[in-house]
Amino acid sequence: MFVIGDKIRLRYTGMRAEIVEDHLDGSYTILDDEDEETIAFVEDIVLADHFEHIEVSEIQKSVKKKIKTPKLQKLSTEEMFFSKSQLEQKFHSTTSPTLSSKKGEEKEATFKFPTIRPTKPTDKGCFLVFLPISATDYSIYLVNDTAASFGFEFRMFLQQEVVHGLDKVIPAYDFFAIGEFKQPQFNDAPTMVLTCPRLQFEKKIKLKFKKFNRSYQEVPLMGLESYAYTVFESFPPKANATGMLQDYTANHHGNKAFVLRPVNRYYKRLNLMEHASFDVELDLHAENLVNDTSEFLPGELFSLQLEVLEKFLQKALTLGIKEVYIIHGIGTGKLKEGVSKHLRFRDGVKDYQNSFHNKYGFGATVVKLR
């Protein structure tokens, strides 16, 4: 009656699915719209084109007759997929009850913001983490639990349209927020794409509500449990086809103005591809990178400086340059420390040293490349 590839609907739930295997005994393996495989019987399915409405099974009818209460409580989406004990555990992990001082008033549950307690590295890989910041909102974090820093491009798609993007460098054993996600956006076919161009690696994550809730796990470095997806387990990750993110973006969103690209605010002098010669000196002072430093928070400037450094190193290695100078100044020492940490785990760096130099004093680091 049904063949492989048929689009079907389940009579008693209305769920959409596709037949992927015929067991020749009146049962089929079906793949639902959340990429979950399950078994369905011929009497429980109907071709999608012939589906009219959700039917009530005999079992459902008998259950209704046994219910004595006049009103049925409508189950939420979470109550449909989780047991009572799982829901209680989830509730207590994200909320804290507040008791009213007035007699007769009911308890009110207030959201408890998760506390990040940085932990020691465990070298478990790279993760995309969705940290609850309210009952319906999440901060998206990238967690790099590896001994290497790397540049990445992040894009978030809703209904195949780019709504957010970011190009940055993440240091070794570090994590930071790269975006936000709202629970209602589960209805907009959300897709997260993270690409590491230098590594020829790309990871595409399609968010499905059921799988999202099953992703709850312990997160390395952050010292808490949250919703997390593994990007890769070891560095360097296995390379895959290049250009996928660019193609995906071009095919689904022609207007790139919607992509937030902080790198476009670089001082144009650093666009090395436009220069015929390569300057072996890189001055990371903020006033050399942006036109107006007041438009940036200190943390943004620091991230920008490390990203400029990474792009500079990439170009130097591509051209076969053997020695470069990174000018970071003295100041508070934060930028110098950030440069040192980045170089420590950077592939292609043979040696680096911050010692007195006749031209730079102690305000620069000499880097020898392989």
Q: Chain-wide mean pLDDT for the chain?
A: 78
Instruction: Verify that 137 and 243 share a domain, yes or no.
Output: yes
In terms of residue numbers, what domain contains 241? Answer: 125-258
Last residue of a domain, one of 258, 286, 304: 258
Last residue of a domain, one of 231, 258, 285: 258
What radius of gyration, in Å, describes the C-alpha atoms of the chain? 27
- Establish if 290 belongs to a structural domain: yes
CA dihedral 307, 313, 314, 320 (to 10 degrees): 170
Q: With 90 as the cut, is the pLDDT of residue 218 above it?
A: yes
Last residue of a domain, one of 208, 235, 258: 258
Name every residue whose Cβ is closer than 8 Å to that of residue 44 and which is 6 or more positions away in sequence: 10, 11, 12
Read off the CATH number of the domain in which 307 is found. 3.30.1370.110
Q: What is the pTM of this model?
A: 0.45
- Establish if 97 belongs to a structural domain: no
324-350, pLDDT tens digit by residue?
A: 999 998 888 889 999 998 898 788 899
- Establish if 235 belongs to a structural domain: yes
Least Cα distance to 1 among 39, 29, 43 occurs for 43
- Establish if 85 belongs to a structural domain: no
- Establish if 274 belongs to a structural domain: yes
Instruction: Verify that 165 and 273 share a domain, yes or no.
Output: no
Read off the CATH number of the domain in which 22 is found. 2.30.30
pLDDT at 86: 58
Name which of 44-53, 133-142, 250-259 the model is least confident about.
Answer: 250-259
- For 69, phi then psi, to 5°, come to -70, 140
pLDDT at 327: 92
Work out whether strand 349-353 and strand 191-196 pair parallel, antiparallel, or are unpaired: unpaired
Instruction: Verify that 268 and 243 share a domain, yes or no.
Output: no
Instruction: Verify that 308 and 325 share a domain, yes or no.
Output: yes
**CA terminus-to-terminus distance, the chain:** 65
- Establish if 120 belongs to a structural domain: no
- Establish if 159 belongs to a structural domain: yes
Instruction: Verify that 267 and 247 share a domain, yes or no.
Output: no
Q: With 60 as the cut, is the pLDDT of residue 177 above it?
A: yes
Name every residue whose Cβ is closer than 8 Å to that of residue 175 and which is 6 or more positions away in sequence: 129, 141, 142, 143, 144, 221, 222
CA angle 213–214–219, rounded 5-degree value: 95
Instruction: Verify that 57 and 161 share a domain, yes or no.
Output: no
Confidence band for 109, pLDDT divided at 50, 70 and 90: low
When divided into structural domains, the chain yields a total of 3
Instruction: Verify that 209 and 166 share a domain, yes or no.
Output: yes
4-36, pLDDT tens digit by residue?
A: 889 998 887 788 888 988 888 888 888 877 677
To which H or E segment does residue 84 belong?
Answer: helix 84-94
- For 108, phi then psi, to 5°, come to -120, 130
Instruction: Verify that 233 and 212 share a domain, yes or no.
Output: yes
